[in-house]
Structure 1
Amino acid sequence: MMKNCEYQQIDPRALSVSPSSAQNHAGKSAQRPRRKWEVFPGRNRFFCDGRIILARQSGVLPLTLGLIVVTCGLFFAFDCPFLVEHLTVFIPVIGGVLFVFVVISLLRTSFTDPGILPRATPDEAADIEKQIDTSGSSTYRPPPRTKEILINQQVVKLKYCFTCKTFRPPRTSHCSLCDNCVERFDHHCPWVGNCVGKRNYRFFYSFIISLSFLTSFIFGCVITHITLRSQASKSLVQAIQESPGSVVELVICFFSIWSILGLSGFHTYLVASNLTTNEDIKGSWSSKRAAEESGNPYSYNSIITNCCATLCGPMPPSLIDRRGLLPLDEPIPAPSASEMELPPFVAKNDAHMEENCQDFALSCTA
């Protein structure tokens, strides 16, 4: 038998919303001042009310930080007590200073605006894209893809960005992963969870250099520890059993030290030449190209001057003003096509296809 069920009738008027209440709710939400990071068009994530900026694909950053913390933690727990007793007390001091410097450099690289350029407003974009032909009639034509300027008596081409609706300044490139134009774009580094550009390159360089010293220091100390312990116990197997954490450190350092040292040497060469990874991979100033493009117009022809200009210059201000307040009468910008989730079979703009492939390849260089 089926049991009787009682249904309570709901008045449909209770579920309806009056137009006046909807307008009041919309008016209250519209009156609330919003910060610019809340409607930022790029693919970034913001924390601490816009003070911290990260790329949306920042999942490798915890792995980077975790490997550093775990390796150093094992070093201080298993190796330092033995080395302090048999060698010197300065070993944990040196390791601690290097560890703090590495972590601070990593976080500053990850949380700093790399030099994102703001996108053009609708009026600015319309002014650039509106062309006037020779007959004097106002017509719409696609804007030119390049514009040539002179830098140190050398022709430099500026490309038009169809996403940001503006001509990119010299050494600026559009990151396809973050969907932003970045000044002095070097590359997108998944290990730090951010682009590396004009405003955070010095932090990135100090991070990889200090990480090279830290990895080499721990690697040498672990080998010394295992050697001394095996000599005392006259057995390598017993020494490993007494300090199993040292073996984990040895494996991590052995497989990472070569890539870290190679990356540090490569970026030292770039700093001394005043080049970027983007320019080096694309061969922008390679002698194999045309004669008019054979020289680097940004080089000062001095290693010391190039290093000072790249690493020691004043920190440029952020241009996106992510914590600024939007005017109440300013409409909220609609998301661009690049922000929407498109099916994988949808092809992108032909003007972006080649450049996005090159920019995506740069994300694997670090």
Structure 2
Amino acid sequence: MYAHPPPVPERDGSGADASHAPRVYEVWKGSNVFCLNGMFIFGPDARSIFLTIFLIAAPVAIFCVFVARHLMDDFKGHWGISIMVAAVVFTLYIFCLLLLTSSRDPGIIPRNTHPPEPEVLDTNVDVGAGLTPQSRLPRFKDVVVNGIIVKVKYCDTCMLYRPPRCSHCSICNNCVERFDHHCPWVGQCIGLRNYRFFFMFVFSTTMLCIYVFGFCCVYIKRIMDVEETNVWRAIAKTPASIVLIVYAFVAVWFVGGLSVFHLYLIGTNQTTYENFRARYDARANPYNRGLVENYKEVFFSKIPPSKNKFRARVHLETGLRSGSAEPGFISPNMGKSVGDIEMGGKTVWDDVGGGIADIERRYGTDGLQSKDAVGDMSSPEFGRAALPAEGLDGRLAIHPRRSSWGRKSGSWEISPDVLALASRVSESNRSNRSSAGL
């Protein structure tokens, strides 16, 4: 489905010290914002977090100053001060959940440096018939999940087939595993690695609203009992309480309704994205394993590690080595350089195409044209150039070698038939020169 970035060596391909190479987060192609040298990753709308913090901290501060401070003397022992302490501690806990939600990798799938190789390459296939225009790959593929066939889509931006439940966020410009939605209030995508903290953040905020709402009502009731007055006069004596009551009442409908909605999604093992698109209205949900197992999957399963090492050094490629190329997968976009994220290099197809064209002009595409052309095969440059050979269809016999990563890369090997032909021609040339000398 996707390729992990190769391990970053201490030195680059030319043997130079890679300590000065840029880090992954410095050349990141997504729209994310990084802080503290790549330790924290946020979405492009990370500034909205400050608004969220203000909307939580401001009413709590008003509650502590105008409500909780007056309730400290109305309860015996330490119960009075515990009202304020509980509000402050609970607010700090919510801020920690907000940080865990918004500043961590939500489950970003690393981009491929090359498109995946097609199972069958047919250059005569119409690219508009359900194929990707860039690489002539099928737009969709079928995978089996718990005995049910699920279609996965090819992402033209990340050059990979998205894993099941993965989607590309147009705001962050990343493919995210188990994509739920992009939340503007936390400035981050909600996915596999931060969904648990997101729900805990929303649910805890709901509990804080109920806490503030409840103790504001208690304070108004205490004023009514002490001064033996009605509710309207008690409200007039503490306008901050009525403001907090209205604010908490409105907020609890928002975050409380969101909590209830996500409790339903967790119980049925759906994401917000899947629910809004009605993915499982007409067919069975292959991920639903029952109420208990669904809740255990969200709250008690181990969070997988990030597939990205944002602080790692990028392996810089100094360029194409002599007689080598990195062809990848030939697509209609051949001729345009494609940048690498993890490796930091670019594939230069113009140089490769120019080299092949020069060989065709010199030797011809249907075979060897002259003895002079063949005689150059014995020169030292012979081992550093791709040679033509007469194959079944008269085309160049160039064989790209596969690397350990499963892609075409590195050097181009010369066909054994070409080497044998070159050896025979060289021996023939030497014998002809010996005869002419005699």
**TM-score category (smaller protein):** 0.7 to 0.9
Name 1:96's counterpart in structure 2: 88
Distance 1:47 1:333 in 2: 27
Name 1:159's counterpart in structure 2: 153
Query: Are the counterparts in 2 of residues 115 and 182 from structure 1 also a CA contact under 8 Å?
Result: yes
Change (3 A) 1:106 1:330: farther
Name 1:76's counterpart in structure 2: 64
Query: Are the counterparts in 2 of residues 41 and 335 from structure 1 also a CA contact under 8 Å?
Result: no
Distance 2:316 2:150 in 1: 41
Give the drift of 1:259: 1.2
Name 1:295's counterpart in structure 2: 284
Name 1:326's counterpart in structure 2: 314
1:184 aligns with 2:172: no
Name 1:204's counterpart in structure 2: 198
Name 2:102's counterpart in structure 1: 110
Give the drift of 1:333: 7.0
Give the drift of 1:189: 0.3
Tell me which of 128, 138, 145 is aligned to 1:144: 138
Name whichever of 313-322 and 190-199 sits farther off: 313-322
Distance 1:146 1:202 in 2: 30
Distance 1:31 1:118 in 2: 23
Change (3 A) 1:112 1:86: same
Name 2:127's counterpart in structure 1: none
Secondary structure of 2:284's counterpart equals coil
Residue identity matched to 1:206: M
Distance 1:67 1:334 in 2: 42
- Kindly report which structure 2 residues correspond to 1:194-233, keeping only aligned pairs within 5 A, or say none: 194-233=188-227
1:120 aligns with 2:115: no
Query: Are the counterparts in 2 of residues 131 and 141 from structure 1 also a CA contact under 8 Å?
Result: no
Cα offsets for 1:19-74 (capped at 9, x unmatched): xxxxxxxxx9x983211000101111000000111111223211111111111111
Cα offsets for 1:170-229 (capped at 9, x unmatched): 110011111110000000000011000000001001111111111101011112212322
Name 2:356's counterpart in structure 1: none
Residue identity matched to 1:99: T
Give the drift of 1:240: 4.2
Query: Are the counterparts in 1 of residues 19 and 313 from structure 2 also a CA contact under 8 Å?
Result: no
Which runs of 5 or more residues in structure 1 are unaligned? Answer: 1-27, 337-366
Name 1:340's counterpart in structure 2: none
Greater RCO, 1 or 2 (C-alpha within 8 Å, sep 6+): 1
Distance 2:106 2:19 in 1: 32
Q: TM-score, normalised by structure 2?
A: 0.63
Give the drift of 1:92: 2.3
Query: Are the counterparts in 1 of residues 113 and 339 from structure 2 also a CA contact under 8 Å?
Result: no
- Kindly report which structure 2 residues correspond to 1:338-349, keeping only aligned pairs within 5 A, or say none: none
1:260 aligns with 2:255: yes
Residue identity matched to 1:67: L
Name whichever of 81-90 and 272-281 sits farther off: 81-90
Between the two proteins, the alignment pairs up a number of residues equal to 295
Give the drift of 1:285: 1.4
Structure with the largest fraction of helix: 1
- Kindly report which structure 2 residues correspond to 1:48-59, keeping only aligned pairs within 5 A, or say none: 48-59=36-47
Give the drift of 1:335: 10
Change (3 A) 1:134 1:121: closer
Change (3 A) 1:183 1:218: same
Secondary structure of 2:158's counterpart equals coil
Residue identity matched to 2:268: S
Cα offsets for 1:249-302 (capped at 9, x unmatched): 22321221111111000111111122111111111111xx2xxxx21111112x
Change (3 A) 1:141 1:235: closer
Q: TM-score, normalised by structure 1?
A: 0.74
Tell me which of 146, 162, 178 is aligned to 1:168: 162
Cα offsets for 1:122-168 (capped at 9, x unmatched): 3xx1635x852399xxxx86211110011111110001111111100
Distance 1:261 1:240 in 2: 26
Distance 2:292 2:48 in 1: 34
Query: Are the counterparts in 1 of residues 33 and 41 from structure 2 also a CA contact under 8 Å?
Result: yes
Secondary structure of 1:85's counterpart equals coil
RMSD over aligned CA atoms reads 2.7
Query: Are the counterparts in 2 of residues 185 and 276 from structure 1 also a CA contact under 8 Å?
Result: yes
Query: Are the counterparts in 2 of residues 39 and 333 from structure 1 also a CA contact under 8 Å?
Result: no
Name 2:246's counterpart in structure 1: 251
Distance 1:165 1:263 in 2: 34
Cα offsets for 1:4-25 (capped at 9, x unmatched): xxxxxxxxxxxxxxxxxxxxxx
Name 1:356's counterpart in structure 2: none
Give the drift of 1:80: 0.9
Change (3 A) 1:56 1:335: farther
Query: Are the counterparts in 2 of residues 131 and 143 from structure 1 also a CA contact under 8 Å?
Result: no
Query: Are the counterparts in 1 of residues 111 and 159 from structure 2 also a CA contact under 8 Å?
Result: yes
Query: Are the counterparts in 1 of residues 33 and 46 from structure 2 also a CA contact under 8 Å?
Result: no
Give the drift of 1:330: 6.4
Q: Is the radius of gyration larger for structure 1 or structure 2?
A: 2
Distance 1:310 1:81 in 2: 39
Change (3 A) 1:247 1:315: same
Name 2:331's counterpart in structure 1: none
